[in-house]
């Protein structure tokens, strides 16, 4: 079953095939999900399908075996459903969005490859297969972001995504190697491997392994893998590629942001929860990075004017939430937010795509009043907007609130850190509501601010685009039902489903569960969400001069925000410029040093060749010609004997015989 999922057809010329294949894999994922549900005992909900042995390394102390195996357990089932389900809707939407583009086959091939890589990543049973999917996702994002590669800026954006991802992948791979090496050293002759089951068994060995620089190996591995996750999931410091990733077609942005790619990091940490749990320091780092990223990205989103960039920073911010959740060991809350986020963020991106489809540009300042022209897009967008803002009882509220609660009650190594992160998260939630309100008001409310000619062309998108929007809107509204908060005394379906994999961690410990407190916090987070919305409404509807005034009063801060904290400039200064300089120096060295060496060698060779040629002419040819001359002289003498007259030969025969006879007689 899992093998089938992995072997999806690549897209052909017809978008149909692209959609149908993803749809098939979605159904297979559903079937897999129900197969798992059919297994009564939650602990046994696990299907592992091994295709073949990939690697077998034997050495004198043991064996290392690696299989190309897939793993279907509750966690990967949920991820599969999200990836293939949301992926299918995005494929469907793309049919409308990409209609008329010449390179549709390429587009759908990439998109399908993307889905395939993501499913491979999600279903992999060991870290190396996961790494293959991990890299495949990175490659596809590069291909799709730079899809319109004739535009140099877009091609550059693709390159940037790829290179930044490489940095993260490097961390991931080093972590992988470190893990492998430690297991190898401590294996004591047993068969080792990198499958998740084996890793879980090997955890005690990893914890007791010899520390490196006084830091436990488990922490090292966790941190290095987290570096990989920051690259893939766009966290500080490797988030810079995601806003630029907006260069790709909008459905691709939706796909990258919602269903695939960026969630890979969260998934990886949830998958390796046993490893991260044994490295509390690393977990704390994850939580801090997540919190800071969530806040920083939210502030950046406030000042963006590109509709897609607002959503991009919002994604980074939401991912920060997820990392915060897994950082406080609330893995199921993180996955819950991942799922709901994939619903409403896909919805928002596709809605934005629909808007861009109508107005043909991304600039919020030249939109407005679209509510009248695009009623369906507006309605569905509203659903996504309310969900991400955290308005109860929509899905975003449920998952975000669960994370905030988990963070509030967490037991991080540093006292007070949990509360600080919670406060940060609360402010971020308010900011989220604020910038989303700003976006909605700028895009949909008021009157159209573009040229009249453009206004004339405004139109609702075709049904093939609005259909997926509606499906996602429904999901975004009711998706929260998967995980109702504890005070409702209703079962938390997702958490109990995931429990066999993720364990019983997080803040929902029933004994210490202070319902009153949680209800209070829920009220508080709803209040900040509403406050954010009101703030946005105040700034952009009631007193439209406030933003400009604020921008002029806090000019420094505004400039910093609109220039994205100067992070790009910093990277330019710290890494890119030195690298370019290094490249120039290397080029210089190449020209002057290596080329000189090469030229010197060639000069020497030429001289040597001349010498050898002279020697060849004089000595070798002399000998050869001399021999030939001698032979020829001999021949010249001998040819006189060959008169061509038979009788002469006969004479010599007769006289020869006679001579022989004489000799016989004499002897």
Partner 1 sequence: MTYSLSSFLMVSSLLFCLGLFTVLTRRNAIRVLMGIELVLNAGALNFVAFSRFLEAPEGAPLISGQVFALFVIAIAAAEAAAVIAIVLSLYSMLKTVDIEQYQQLHG
| Per-residue binding letters, 581-620, with partner 1 (x by CB under 8 A) | ----------------------------------------
**If binding is defined by CB under 8 A, does position 660 make contact with partner 1?**
no
Q: Contact between 644 and partner 1 (CB under 8 A)?
A: yes
Dist CA 646 CA 136 (whole Å):
90
Stretch that binds partner 1, among 289-297, 575-583, 594-602, 635-643 (CB under 8 A): 635-643
Q: Tell me if 456 contacts partner 1 by CB under 8 A.
A: no
Least distance to partner 1, CB of residue 636, Å:
10
**Which CB atom, from 99 or from 650, has the smaller least distance to partner 1?**
650
Sort strands 191-192 and 62-72 into parallel, antiparallel or unpaired: parallel
Closest CA to 470 of 460, 485, 483, 482: 460
The residue ranges of DSSP E strands in 120-217, in sequence order, are 191-192
* Residue 152 in the binding site for partner 1 (CB under 8 A): no
State which of residues 152, 511, 641, 666 lies at the interface with partner 1 (CB under 8 A): 641
Report residue 626 as tokens. 């001399």
Using CA atoms, how far residue 444 sits from 336, 375, 458, in Å, is: 30, 10, 12
665 touches partner 1 by CB under 8 A: no
Q: Which is nearer to partner 1, 413 or 644 (CB)?
A: 644
Name the one range near partner 1 by CB under 8 A: 283-291, 292-300, 485-493, 645-653. 645-653
Q: State yes or no: residue 638 binds partner 1 (CB under 8 A).
A: yes
User: How many angstroms separate the Cα of 460 from the Cα of each of 354, 375, 516?
Assistant: 8, 7, 46
Task: Check if the beta carbon of residue 78 is closer than 8 Å to that of residue 233.
Answer: no
Stretch that binds partner 1, among 62-70, 490-498, 511-519, 650-658 (CB under 8 A): 650-658
Nearer to partner 1, 43 or 642 (CB): 642
664 touches partner 1 by CB under 8 A: no
Report the Cα–Cα distance between both ends of the chain, in Å, rounded.
105
The DSSP-derived string for 373-397 is H-HHHHHHHHHHHHHHHT-TTSHHH
643 binds partner 1 (CB under 8 A): yes
Residue 575 sits in the site that holds partner 1 (CB under 8 A): no
- Cβ at position 629, least distance to partner 1 in Å: 18
- What gap in Å lies between CA 467 and CA 99, rounded to an integer? 16
DSSP H stretches of helix in 365-491 = 370-373, 375-389, 395-408, 417-444, 452-457, 463-478
Candidates 150, 214, 447, 647; binder of partner 1 (CB under 8 A) is 647
Q: Does 651 bind partner 1 (CB under 8 A)?
A: yes
490 forms part of the interface with partner 1 (CB under 8 A): no
Told to check if 650 binds partner 1 by CB under 8 A, we report yes
Tell me the backbone φ, ψ of residue 49, rounded to 5 degrees: -120, 115
Residues 6+ apart with CB under 8 A from 106: 147
Residue 415 or 635 with smaller CB distance to partner 1: 635
Q: Strand, helix or coil at 476?
A: helix
The verdict on 646 binding partner 1 (CB under 8 A) reads yes
**Residue 43 contacts partner 1 per CB under 8 A:** no
- Contact present, 425 and 323 (Cβ < 8 Å): no
The first and second tokens of residue 13, run together, are: 């010329």
Which of 36-44, 361-369, 620-628, 631-639 is the region at the interface with partner 1 (rule: CB under 8 A)?
A: 631-639
What are residue 50's phi and psi, to 5 degrees? -100, 125
> Residues in the site for partner 1, rule: CB under 8 A?
635, 638-639, 641-647, 650-651, 654
């Amino acid at each position: 079953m899992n093998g089938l999922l992995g072997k999806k057809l690549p897209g052909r010329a017809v978008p149909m095939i692209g959609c149908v294949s993803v749809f098939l894999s979605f159904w297979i994922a559903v079937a897999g999900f129900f197969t798992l549900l059919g297994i009564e005992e939650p602990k046994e909900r696990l299907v592992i399908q091994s295709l073949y042995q990939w690697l077998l390394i034997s050495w004198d102390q043991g064996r290392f075996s690696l299989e190309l195996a897939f793993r279907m357990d509750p966690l990967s089932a949920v991820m599969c459903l999200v990836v293939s389900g949301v992926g299918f809707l995005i494929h469907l939407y793309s049919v409308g969005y990409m209609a008329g583009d010449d390179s549709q086959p390429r587009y759908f091939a990439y998109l399908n490859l993307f889905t395939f890589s993501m499913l491979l990543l999600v279903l992999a049973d060991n870290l190396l297969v996961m790494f293959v999917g991990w890299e495949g996702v990175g490659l596809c994002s590069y291909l799709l972001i730079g899809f319109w590669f004739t535009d140099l800026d877009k091609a550059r954006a693709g390159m940037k995504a790829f290179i930044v991802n490489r940095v993260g992948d490097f961390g991931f791979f080093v972590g992988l190697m470190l893990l492998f090496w430690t297991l190898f050293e401590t294996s004591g002759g047993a068969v080792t491997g990198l499958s998740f089951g084996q890793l879980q068994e090997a955890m005690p060995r990893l914890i007791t392994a010899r520390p490196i620089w006084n830091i436990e190996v488990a922490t090292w591995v966790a941190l290095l893998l987290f570096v990989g996750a920051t690259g893939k999931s766009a966290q500080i410091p490797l988030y810079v590629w995601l806003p630029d990733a907006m260069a790709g077609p909008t459905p691709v942005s939706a796909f990258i942001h919602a269903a695939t790619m960026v969630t890979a990091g969260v998934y990886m940490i949830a998958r390796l929860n046993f490893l991260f749990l044994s490295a509390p320091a690393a977990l704390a780092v994850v939580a801090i990075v997540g919190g800071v990223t969530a806040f920083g990205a939210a502030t950046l989103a406030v000042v963006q004017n590109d509709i897609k960039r607002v959503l991009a920073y919002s994604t980074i911010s939401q991912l920060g939430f997820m990392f915060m959740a897994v950082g406080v060991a609330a893995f199921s809350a993180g996955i819950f937010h991942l799922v709901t986020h994939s619903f409403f963020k896909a919805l928002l991106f596709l809605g934005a795509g629909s808007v861009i489809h109508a107005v043909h540009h991304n600039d919020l300042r030249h939109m407005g009043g679209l509510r009248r022209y695009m009623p369906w897009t507006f309605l569905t967008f509203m659903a996504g907007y309310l969900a991400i803002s955290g308005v109860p009882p929509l899905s975003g509220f449920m998952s975000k609130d669960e994370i905030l609660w988990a963070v509030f009650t967490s037991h991080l190594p540093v006292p007070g850190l949990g509360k600080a992160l919670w406060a940060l998260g609360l402010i971020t939630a308010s900011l989220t509501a604020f910038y989303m309100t700003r976006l909605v008001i700028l895009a949909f409310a008021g009157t159209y601010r573009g040229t009249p000619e453009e206004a004339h062309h405004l139109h609702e998108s075709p049904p093939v685009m609005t259909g997926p929007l509606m499906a996602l809107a429904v999901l975004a509204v009711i998706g929260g039902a998967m995980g109702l908060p504890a005070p409702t005394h209703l079962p938390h379906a997702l958490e109990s489903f995931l429990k066999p994999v993720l364990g019983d961690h997080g803040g929902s410990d029933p004994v210490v569960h202070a319902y009153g407190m949680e209800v209070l916090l829920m009220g508080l987070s709803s209040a900040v969400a509403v406050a954010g919305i009101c703030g946005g409404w105040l700034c952009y509807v009631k007193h439209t001069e406030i933003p400009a005034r604020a921008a002029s009063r806090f000019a420094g801060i505004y400039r910093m925000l609109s220039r994205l904290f100067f992070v790009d400039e910093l990277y330019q200064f710290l890494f890119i410029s030195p690298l370019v300089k290094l490249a120039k120096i290397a080029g210089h060295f190449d020209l002057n040093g290596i080329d000189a060496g090469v030229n010197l060698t060639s000069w020497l060779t030429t001289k040597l060749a001349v010498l050898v040629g002279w020697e060849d002419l004089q000595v070798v040819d002399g000998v050869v010609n001399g021999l030939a001359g001698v032979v020829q002289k001999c021949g010249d003498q001998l040819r006189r004997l060959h008169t061509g007259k038979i009788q002469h030969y006969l004479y010599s025969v007769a006289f020869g015989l006679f001579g022989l006879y004489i000799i016989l007689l004499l002897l």
